Structure 1
Amino acid sequence: MANTMKNIEFNPASYSQWQDAAVKALKGKPFESLFTKTAEGITLEPLYTQQMLVDQLGDQLQKQVATIRSNEYSQQFTVAQQAYGDTAEQFFANVEESLQRGNEAVTIDSRVNFTWDEAALTKVASYLTEYSFKLIVQGQDDALLKAFDYIAEDKASQVEGFIISPKTVTLSKFGKVRTYCADAAAVHNNGATAVQELAFALASAAKFANEEESFDAFAAKFFVNFAVDTQFFMEVAKLRAFKVLWQAFTAAYGKEVAVPVVAETSIRSFSKYDVYVNLLRAGNETLSAAIGGVDVFTVHPHDVLSKPTEQSIRIARNVQLVITEEAHVLKVQDPAGGSYFIESLTNALVKDAWAYFLQIEEAGGIDAFAAQFEADVEEAYNARVKATQTRKQSLIGTNIYANPEDVVATEENVQFAHVKRIAAPFESLRAEATKANAKAAILPFGELKKVKPRADFVAGVLNTVGIVAEQPAPLATVEEAKAFLAQTDASYIVVAGADDDVKANIAAILEAKKEGQVVDVAGRFKDDEEAFAQAGVDGYVFAGQNIIEKLQGVLATTKEGQR
């Protein structure tokens, strides 16, 4: 059998043959239903072939791959774990432990709970001379920057690291400290798409380059900081696309120089409820960062929105160590190179981001274009929020498979309080529903096999805001349904059943509807809305509905009924 298997040959299938098989498997659904439109406006195909890639890129394919590989700043994936601590003693003890257990770059956000006094700054200075670093500060007057005053002049040339700040800071005598940061992570956390992030990075670079006396002086200070989201292939392509774009950018100045790519896991995809899902997100994001060619990376602990613990910090560090030591992706240069899908996606991002960058430059640069850029990012954010609230985009533990028993931490990490997280509207409404002690019930009417899918769907929707609905076994008769309506103390009830059963019996069932009760029906009954309204139906719960808008209306209505 083994010899026979070795000799078997499979004839390659053409795209048209695959398409015919897919259409047959779809059983009446259009083939176009397999295409996906991303937030960037890029249409993802269900299958990518070598011929498609050649048709799209032609001779440019080899150039794209070569450019990405030649623009590699380093061959390392530097672990840059952020330090935490309530006191200076605890903070520096955590720094020491992290360095002993695999951390490679000291990462400090100046917004801490203790004072950056002389002792603390002297301690920081000792680390800056010994290790590479990433500092997150709030401007030139940030107290943490005074640590550089405690570094001896003869050691200044050894100091090497990155400073991220909303406004560029100036450091004299520290030539290896990069202070020109295109902070794409900041616009990412406001809702930007991959195209907008890439264009912003280039536009920021153009601004800094124009402010320096020479391109070489600018390049020595410049780096880009990305946030890596959960859209795995898009994020790999984004990081690779930046290297292609950077080559085109430097070529305009007659230069060819690589630039460091610093990155971190995305906070906008994090949630306060079911925080261990954040760990899964961080792992996914870290792998895509490693494949995409990041030089320095920070993994945020899964409970970073509240207060990281020793355990969560250790897990965050180990996420990086597992990928660097055990996944072996770093043993291959450009692991995604040659992938039909990722190369096509990389090329699409390059084209769209370069076009948007030129639009920014034609308007006078990123400062002149600021208002329009903010409006574009806001539009992208609103689209992403809508996709989450209508479940076109899943956010596990938040808009789907939510755990209603989960309790959110009361503490809030001020470092990330400003991030426009897509889970935030669900968390706010959940807090409101909990405070109102909202009571809901599901009235399952009909056979179990017909009732269960819709009843489970409704229960899942209510779970997203922490409501656990009362639900009896399926009720077979109108009398049983009326009896349930009469005895339940729930102010919000959803009738779940097969279409025909609901149409035939809803009027009779709602004869028992009590004053103050809000009764919805599971499903979409467009042709019966008038009749249902006359029978006493208040609304509907159905797939594709905006969950937040629906549940906000339910809470408002039930509150009025309780007055």
Structure 2
Amino acid sequence: MEDFKQLNPQEWKLKVQAELAGLDYNEVLVWDTAEGIQIKPVYTQEDLLQTVFPIQTTKDWKIIGQFLPDANQDTSYLYGLKIKDQQIDKLKSLPEYLDLFFDLEKPFEVLSKNNFASFKNLKYLGLDVLGHFAESGDWYRSEEEDLALAEKLIDEGNFAKSVEVNASLFQNAGANHVLQIALAISQAVEYLETLGEKVAPKLYFKVAVGGNYFFEIAKLRALRNLWELILAEYNSDAEVYILAETSLRNKSVLDVYNNVIRSGLEAAAAVQGKADVVYAFPYDSIGKSSDFSEELASKQQLLLQKESYFDKVMDPISGTYFIENLTELMSRNALDLFKKLEEEGGFLKGLFEGRIQKMIQKSADREQMAFDEGEMILIGVNKFRNPSDQPKPVEKPSLPIMTQIQPIIRKRLAEKIESDL
């Protein structure tokens, strides 16, 4: 190392400028993101906006898969399983070392009929009454009853985590990275203000990870930073807990095996972003997944663990100039947007007045335009399409006609191309 001269940032920029042969540095190499962040071609130590420290979580992460109605399902490599409402009667046959993540569709019915204290490994309950209201436009029963149910589950203490902030909705509906972070912490603060500080240790974030690798890493790290900052304001020492799942927004039934590559990269970004739990959707999840595709999806993470050795280093991203700079800028922009949301009345009021829906729609329209015009590329979908590919029609869920608010709708980028075919 002593034989190599250390270049300062100005020397790096002069070198880049010389390679441009007269072209303007800012016009050619600096570009603006959808979040209003400028990306440069070269990053140095001077771009570390503050002192950075490794994220102190376990080196390993929880690999979870979907519970399958197959007595021979291989769970030897898994930390946990996702469970649906209708699978509750099969829980007692599962090994107790598996952490179970319960996706609730009908919480009042399921919770009233089952004694969850008897399930020692059912630790994570996906109850998000605010998220359900945002996505469906209606409460399960009413605002008072729904929040009372959440408070009851917190007080009973049968779950390690019983309140979910389902921020995956915002990503899959088209919100940009900064908007996703701001909405996630705004929703979480709504729970804190409504249910009290006792909700803090029982709350976790579910986040969807898209295909912009470095941005997704920075997004998860920024979310963790901001939530730690907010917890400190509430004098809470609760942990920040993030469940990351791969996005559905950039998936398609066209050239469907490309979804394996996309979800593999997304899972890698989730791990490097220091998610505590990672779930990868199968490549054919847009239609009807199979036992094979579900197992393949969860075993994608085995490659990251056993062949890429992602579990051997505590935090390899820490100190990287570009990602640390991007994380800090995302954090600052998201904090500013969060403060604006709070000044206007908070998450729930923003839904009732339609401001949140408009922000997401504006971001989604911009992303959709980039995809439609070929600036954003999905191989096999809007670029290098297989002419012999004949996808099966995708059944779209019916939308409610009358709701209390305009619901936030998940939408995939490829839907129009698929329907045209």
TM-score (norm 2): 0.85
Post-superposition Cα deviations, 1:171-217, rounded to whole Å, max 9, x if no partner, equal 3744324222111101111111111111112111211112224x2x2
1:135 deviation in Å? 1.9
Cα gap change, 1:163/1:129 in structure 2, threshold over 3 Å: closer, same or farther? farther
SS in structure 2 of the partner of residue 97 of structure 1 = coil
1:15 deviation in Å? 3.5
Q: Does 1:161 align with 2:124?
A: yes
Cα gap change, 1:312/1:397 in structure 2, threshold over 3 Å: closer, same or farther? same
1:198 aligned partner: 181
Cα gap change, 1:130/1:52 in structure 2, threshold over 3 Å: closer, same or farther? closer
| Structure 1 CA distance for aligned equivalents of residues 46 and 112 of structure 2 | 57
| Structure 2 CA distance for aligned equivalents of residues 414 and 103 of structure 1 | 31
| Structure 2 CA distance for aligned equivalents of residues 335 and 359 of structure 1 | 34
Cα gap change, 1:330/1:382 in structure 2, threshold over 3 Å: closer, same or farther? same
1:422 aligned partner: 413
CA contact (8 A) 1:182 1:200 kept: no
1:276 deviation in Å? 1.3
Q: Does 1:261 align with 2:242?
A: yes
SS in structure 1 of the partner of residue 70 of structure 2 = helix
Cα gap change, 1:34/1:397 in structure 2, threshold over 3 Å: closer, same or farther? same
Cα gap change, 1:327/1:34 in structure 2, threshold over 3 Å: closer, same or farther? same
| Structure 2 CA distance for aligned equivalents of residues 307 and 122 of structure 1 | 22
List aligned pairs for 1:137-286, cutoff 5 A: 137-141=104-108, 143=110, 145=111, 148-149=114-115, 151=116, 153=117, 155=118, 159-165=122-128, 166=132, 170=150, 171=153, 173-213=156-196, 215=197, 217-286=198-267
Letter matched to residue 302 of structure 2: L
RMSD (Å) for aligned C-alpha atoms: 2.5
| Structure 2 CA distance for aligned equivalents of residues 426 and 280 of structure 1 | 20
Q: Does 1:108 align with 2:83?
A: yes
1:373 deviation in Å? 1.2
Post-superposition Cα deviations, 1:27-51, rounded to whole Å, max 9, x if no partner, equal 4543221112222211111110112
1:256 deviation in Å? 2.6
2:69 aligned partner: 92
SS in structure 2 of the partner of residue 330 of structure 1 = coil
Q: Does 1:41 align with 2:36?
A: yes
| Structure 2 CA distance for aligned equivalents of residues 378 and 299 of structure 1 | 26
SS in structure 2 of the partner of residue 61 of structure 1 = coil
SS in structure 1 of the partner of residue 101 of structure 2 = strand
Identity of aligned residues (%): 27
| Structure 2 CA distance for aligned equivalents of residues 210 and 139 of structure 1 | 25
Aligned residues: 388
SS in structure 1 of the partner of residue 107 of structure 2 = coil
CA contact (8 A) 1:228 1:265 kept: yes
Letter matched to residue 161 of structure 1: Y
Q: Does 1:308 align with 2:283?
A: no
Higher relative contact order (CA 8 A, sep 6+): 2
SS in structure 2 of the partner of residue 344 of structure 1 = helix
Q: Does 1:318 align with 2:299?
A: yes
| Structure 1 CA distance for aligned equivalents of residues 232 and 390 of structure 2 | 53
Letter matched to residue 404 of structure 1: P
Runs of 5+ consecutive residues of structure 1 not aligned to the other structure: 1-6, 84-90, 111-115, 432-563
After alignment, is 230-239 or 125-134 more displaced? Answer: 125-134
List aligned pairs for 1:322-333, cutoff 5 A: 322-333=303-314
Structure number having the greater helix percentage: 1
1:330 deviation in Å? 2.1
Runs of 5+ consecutive residues of structure 2 not aligned to the other structure: 134-145, 399-408
SS in structure 2 of the partner of residue 342 of structure 1 = helix
List aligned pairs for 1:474-485, cutoff 5 A: none
TM-score (norm 1): 0.64
| Structure 2 CA distance for aligned equivalents of residues 414 and 265 of structure 1 | 20
Cα gap change, 1:406/1:142 in structure 2, threshold over 3 Å: closer, same or farther? farther
**Of residues 364, 380, 393 in structure 1, which corresponds to 2:363?**
380
Post-superposition Cα deviations, 1:367-402, rounded to whole Å, max 9, x if no partner, equal 111211111111000000111112222221111111
